[in-house]
Amino acid sequence: MRFKKMEKQSSFITQNFEDLHDTLTNKQLSLKDTGQNHRVINNWAKQGIIEDERSDQEKWRRFSLMDIIWLSIIDDFRSFGMGLPAIKEVYDHLVAKKAKRLEVNGKSLSQLELAVLQVFHDKGLRFMVTDSQGNAEILSETDFKSKTTDGSIDNHIVISLNRTINENFEEIAFAPTLDRGDLTKEERDLLDIIRNGNFLSIKARLKDGQITMIEGVERMANKKRIIEILNEGSFQDIELRQENGKVVSVHRTLKKKY
C-alpha cells in the first residue's frame, strides 16, 4: 500500500507564524529533556531516524521542541513493535530535511512541522497514519474518517499528534476548540463548569429549550474552613463525610438560577 502524497497547503497563515516556527525549531534543549540516554540517541542517529546537526566544535547534541515531538513519536512506534527500518521510511518521507518540503509563509517545512503548527494554530485533530512498512501520511480528522470509510487505508498504526504534543506541553490544551460565539450566556456558563474539572455531577434545567438553572456537585478541599465555603456561594448545600472523628470529604451543591 502507498499513501497519496500530501498536497501543498497554502491557506495556513497566522500572525505570529514565524515566532512559533522559530520557537519550535530552536535547538536549545539537552539530552535530559528527551527522556532518552546517549546509547539510544546515538543508535537512532546511526539508523538515520534522527539527524546529528552538530558542528565539529560542538560536543553535545542540542534538541528542539520539534525534535522532542518526533522522538515521542518514535517511542510510540516502538511500543507498537515497529522496526527501525520502517520508522526510517516515515522519517525520510515526513520529517527529514531531504523529504518533500512545503513552502508556507516563506518557510520551508517538513510535513510534520506543518501539521504541528496547524495543531497549535487551530487545534484541529491531526493523525500520523502508517502501515507496517513505514508508508505514511498525516491526515486531518475529516480525511482520516473519509479514508477509513472508503477502504483506501489498510491495516495501519495511528498516532494522534494532538495527544503527542499535549503530553510534551502539558500547560497547553490541544483538544479541538469550540466556537463559543453562537452559545448563550447560560450555555457558556455550563461549558465552563464542565471544564472546571472539580464537579462530580452537573444538572441543567430547561424551559422552552432555554437553561433556567444549573446545579453542580463540587468536590471541596478538606482543609478549607466551612465558614469560607459558606461565604463563597449564594445558593448551595454542604455535605460532610466523617470517619473516625475526621472530615474525609466535603461536597457542596451549587445552584445558579437564570
Percent of the chain with pLDDT over 70: 75
- Confidence category of residue 134, pLDDT binned at 50, 70, 90: very high
The two beta strands, 199-207 and 246-257, are unpaired
Q: Which grid coordinates belong to 105?
A: 509563509
Q: In the predicted model, what is the mean pLDDT of residues 138-146?
A: 90
**C-alpha Rg value of the chain to the nearest Å:** 24
Mean of the per-residue pLDDT values for the chain? 78
Q: Which grid coordinates belong to 96?
A: 527529514
pLDDT at 126 over 70: yes
Q: Residue 236: beta bridge partners?
A: 254
Q: How far is CA 214 from CA 36, 190, 229, 237, 254, in A?
A: 48, 7, 19, 14, 8
- Of the candidate ranges 151-160, 181-190, 218-227, 240-249, the one whose mean pLDDT is the lowest: 218-227
Burial zone of 20 (CB within 10 Å; 0-12 exposed, 13-18 middle, 19+ buried): middle
The reported pLDDT for the residue numbered 73 is: 94
CA quadruple 164, 107, 135, 96: dihedral positive or negative?
negative
Q: How far is residue 32's CA from residue 26's CA, in Å, rounded to a whole number?
A: 16
pLDDT at 179 over 60: no
Tens of pLDDT, residues 195-209: 666 677 888 888 887
The reported pLDDT for the residue numbered 115 is: 93
Q: How far is residue 13's CA from residue 121's CA, in Å, rounded to a whole number?
A: 9
Q: Which of 115, 166, 113, 121 is nearest to 141 (CA)?
A: 115
The reported pLDDT for the residue numbered 121 is: 78
- Confidence category of residue 7, pLDDT binned at 50, 70, 90: very low
pLDDT at 111 over 90: yes
Tens of pLDDT, residues 27-59: 888 888 888 888 999 999 999 999 887 766 667
Q: Which grid coordinates belong to 59?
A: 560536543
Tens of pLDDT, residues 61-108: 889 899 999 999 999 999 999 999 999 999 999 999 888 888 887 788
According to DSSP H, which parts of 49-140 are helical? 65-79, 84-94, 111-122
Domains belonging to the chain, first-starting first, are: 17-168 (1.10.1660.10), 180-257 (no CATH)
pLDDT at 169 over 50: yes
Q: Which grid coordinates belong to 243?
A: 470517619
According to DSSP H, which parts of the chain are helical? 17-25, 38-46, 65-79, 84-94, 111-122, 141-150, 161-168, 185-196, 226-230
Instruction: Check: CB of residue 105 under 8 Å from CB of residue 13.
Output: yes
The reported pLDDT for the residue numbered 236 is: 58
According to DSSP H, which parts of 197-249 are helical? 226-230
